Amino acid sequence: MQNTPQAGALPDISIDPAAKPGPSPEDKRQARKQWLKKLYSQRHLQIMALLGVAWMFVFNYIPMYGIIIAFKEFNIIKSISEAPWVGLDHFREFFSNDDFAVVMKNTLGISLLKLFIGFPLPIIFALFLNEVRSVRYKRTIQTISYLPHFLSWVILGGILITWLSDVGVINKLLLTLNLINEPITYLAEPQYFWGIVIASDIWKELGWSAIIYLAAIASVSPEMYEAATIDGAGRFQKMWYITLPSIKATISILFILAIGGVLNSNFDQILVLRNPLNESASNVIDIFVYHTGLQNGRYSYAQAVALFKSVIAIILLLIANRVTKKLNDTSLF
């Protein structure tokens, strides 16, 4: 028996809530028109951005084709395509080289010490500088700490070489204080080289590196400090429980970037400060690549060593990014 609808009853019309009508062709044309209008209004900014993209493509991406010479026996008088393939021979030669252990020890030693000593110091400096109440005194400290960053390592290296010589100001000061009995030529002694490199790097970059942390601290809500003051918290308690957790994301991002560059030992600095007497402590990967490639003309071998360093840096970056994301849900990607 067929059921017939009762008189006056509304028909059963069911609408799927998930089914939404898509934009009409007219809406798409209007959206495209608005996008083009906005693009035209920003044409000057877009041109500036495109110039930066073009520069990066020309000088950063196109040269990556030259990476293949690490797997070839490249000769400067021939093109890269004409060079014969040698596979992993250059990598095997580097791993079996007598200098491999020394180069890796110096690179990792200097870089890890810079990371463990030099990374936290700008954070501590920014925390204490933020507690300075005198604006004039604070600006004076900031200016003094920033200044060395704007000097090249050629200039700073010359200053350090003069200061650390046997007739330099460091020896004179230590002799005056009776801390040493005779002058020491510090840059001629390998055991002092790592300390000189790390201390001079901190001296140069401490104030500049603290800028990012000071900017992050400035964004912390003053109401949190006021509430902590009412609760009886002191300055150190505020730094530990309010300031540090508030800039945790900034610290994490910069730590990931620092881990990615852990094999970079600051080529300019070491090239200026090194000499044949401290070579056993100053021969790092960047210096090894420079001497092998530019001075000895072994471009393929030098490229293989540089590629090895880059691959390790990428692996460390990925590991640091994953670990940081697991610990505090902050990462680069």
Domain boundary (26, 56, 87) is at: 87
Residue 324, token pair as written in the block = 């940081």
Q: Are residues 79 and 202 in the same domain?
A: no
Pick left, alpha or beta for residue 284 (phi over 0 → left; psi -120 to 50 → alpha; otherwise beta). Answer: beta
> What distance in Å separates the CA atoms of residue 123 and residue 133, rounded to the nearest whole number?
18
Co-location of 78 and 110 in the same domain = no
Judge whether 126 lies within some domain.
Answer: yes
CATH of the domain at 297: 1.10.3720.10
Residue 51's pLDDT is: 92
Q: Are residues 131 and 42 in the same domain?
A: no
pLDDT 10s digits, 194-242: 999 999 999 999 999 999 999 999 888 889 988 988 888 888 898 999 9
User: Domain check: are 193 and 310 in the same one?
Assistant: yes
Query: Is 50 in the same domain as 112?
Result: no
Q: For residues 144 and 41, state if they share a domain.
A: no
145 in the same domain as 191: yes
**Residues 56, 99 within the same domain:** no
Structural domain including 45 reads 36-87
What pLDDT does 265 receive? 79
CA 289/CA 106 separation, integer angstroms: 14
- Domain count across the chain: 2
Same domain for 54 and 143: no
pLDDT at 22: 64
Q: Taking residues 245-268, report their average pLDDT.
A: 89
Q: Are residues 268 and 145 in the same domain?
A: yes
Domain identity same for 121 and 223: yes
Q: Which of 87, 112, 130 is the last residue of a domain?
A: 87
DSSP-based three-state secondary structure for 291: helix
